[in-house]
Amino acid sequence: MKTKTNTFQHLLEQMAAAGVIDENVLKNLTRKKYWPELFQMLAQTSTTPVHQPLILRANSAKMAVDKILRQPNNAVINVLLKLASGSGGLFTFDSVCASFCADGNLTYFSSKLAMINGQSERPAEGLDMDDERQRALAFNLSFILLTRIRFIYDDLRPSELVNGNVRGMDNTQSCFYKFASQYGWTAADSCSLSNAYTNEQKAAFVDRVNMLKRAQPFWDPRTVNYAELVDFVPVIGEILLDDFRMTKFENYEHLHENIKNVLHAFRDDANFMIVCLVQWMCSQPVTNPRQSLVKSFIRALEYPHQLNHTQQERYFLF
């Protein structure tokens, strides 16, 4: 006849036979004076509540998002915006990703984001102001959320992330795929060469970076090709890094203000550029100037310029 005592003793003996515990531990644990405490511990463990309602609600949220993914992009973007900004109630973007991952469908989800990202890279003819804002929102949101997925699920290759399991889908021409393929999270896992720009190439771009240092975008949001803007990330980063290479530490204060202005210039319609610059920095060899640039970025993100009312309405992720 099995009782809780001899069943427990059998379990301990099996653990000892498997080498999980040694003979001395077995003898101590099977001394009856310890059993009341052990039984109490097991009772507490066995009655630990499983949050089944929470899991069911998370799965329901995933199913709702899955249904939205089959609708026009505008509907998808509105839902993702709520998830990303934390205004989606109990569930966040990360929790929805986890639900898709549990079903083995995460790349289906990410490939939909990649498709939205690719479709919003370039302006279409006849767009009005609302369409331009929607395009900016679509590109920003999809790029940043794809980067978030890539950061959390770092075993996914960029090709899996953008194409998923959908037959015939090819998002490998998108700027997100190209950037993700070049830049990892460290110098060791990045394919792009450091210092790939000549002084002449950087000199041709200095005027545009100087506009950023005055918190002024150098592109027209109505006609901008976001793929080209992403292509500019390395040269922008190199010019900013050169400032720290050529300036003495005691004169860094104005460089910190420059970085704050650069980030402010991106915070209206091009938040994704901040993400790209951070990832570009992560991929650079660790040097004193690079570390100073990183610290300046952290400082600028912690104490940013105040946004005006219009920017506050648009500013949703940072």
Span 150-194, pLDDT tens digits: 988 888 888 899 988 766 678 888 899 999 988 876 666 666 555
pTM above 0.85, yes or no: no
Distances in whole angstroms, Cα of residue 242 to Cα of each of 132, 158, 184, 199? 34, 30, 22, 10
Q: What is the mean pLDDT of residues 106-131?
A: 82
Quote the CA–CA distance of 137 and 8 in Å, as a whole number.
Answer: 59
Q: pLDDT tens digit string along 18-56?
A: 676 777 777 776 665 555 555 555 445 444 454 556 566
Backbone angles phi, psi at 151, to 5 degrees: -70, -40
User: What span, in angstroms and rounded, lies between the C-alpha atoms of 136 and 121?
Assistant: 9
Q: Is the pLDDT of residue 313 over 60?
A: no
pLDDT of residue 38: 54
Whether 163 and 169 have beta carbons less than 8 Å apart is answered as yes
What percent of the chain lies above the pLDDT cut of 70? 72
